[in-house]
Structures are given as structure tokens and as C-alpha cells.
A = this chain, B = another copy of it.
């Protein structure tokens, strides 16, 4: 039987408070900042459980980190994520959903789950980047 601990609750809360996707590490430090002395391993375990139970959605960022977000079971939408500051904008397009499904079906695939997310630099970070170039 799953037990109800404040740690799980904290992770769940912080996850749903987050606008879009958050990394386990990010969520952990956010919790620490909020005063929770929760352990990193616990955060990982809680997130893994949430994902398993279907309460969280996860995807891999281009950098190879696992990102999680609270799963609004009903409808699913996609995100525009700033790779610098983490700003997330929700974008939803039924057209794309259909496209994905059809494209899969066209090739005989079933149980298609798509990963459609756009990583970029938000306006603010773009400005910063041009002010202080990386290279």
C-alpha cells in the first residue's frame, strides 16, 4: 500500500505548481528553496511513481535530462520551452494531434504516442544572448 508522506505531497504540489516541464533536479532545488529538506533521491522516486501512476508525463530534453510535468489527463497539449530560463508556453493544435495519429496509422502503427515539444530561446533570453554572445 502506498503511504501518504509530506514528501510525496510536496513533489505533487510543486509539480502542479510548475507551468510546464521541470527536471527532477530543478524540482528538488525549487523545493529546497521553499524550505523543504526533501532529499534528491526521494524526488526522483516520487516522480518515477507519479509517472508510473499516470499522474505525471515525462519526456527527455535535448540535453538528455528527464523532464516531468503534471499530467492533465483529459487533454494534452504541447510546449514551447525556453532552454535558457525555462519559460514555458502551452501551445495546442488539434491539427497536429490528428496529423500525428494519421501519420502513424498510415504506416500501420498503433498505440501511437507522440512527443512534440519545441525548445528554443524566449524573447528575453534571445536579447540577453545577443548582448553577451556565447562564442
Interface size on A, residues (CB 8 A): 35
Contact for A108 among B61, B95, B126, CB less than 8 A = B126
Contacts of A9 in B (CB 8 A): none
Answer yes or no: A96 CB below 8 A from chain B CBs: yes
Contact status B108-A62, CB under 8 Å: no
Q: How many copies does the complex hold?
A: 2
Chain A's interface: helix, strand, loop or mixed, by majority?
A: strand
State in angstroms the CA–CA spacing of A62 and B115 once bound together: 8
For residue A110, which residue of chain B has the nearest CB? B126
Contact for A107 among B80, B110, B115, CB less than 8 A = B80
Answer yes or no: A100 CB below 8 A from chain B CBs: yes
Given contacts A91-B107, A96-B96, A111-B120, 8 further A-B contacts (CB under 8 A): A62-B115, A80-B103, A89-B107, A89-B109, A108-B123, A108-B126, A109-B123, A113-B119
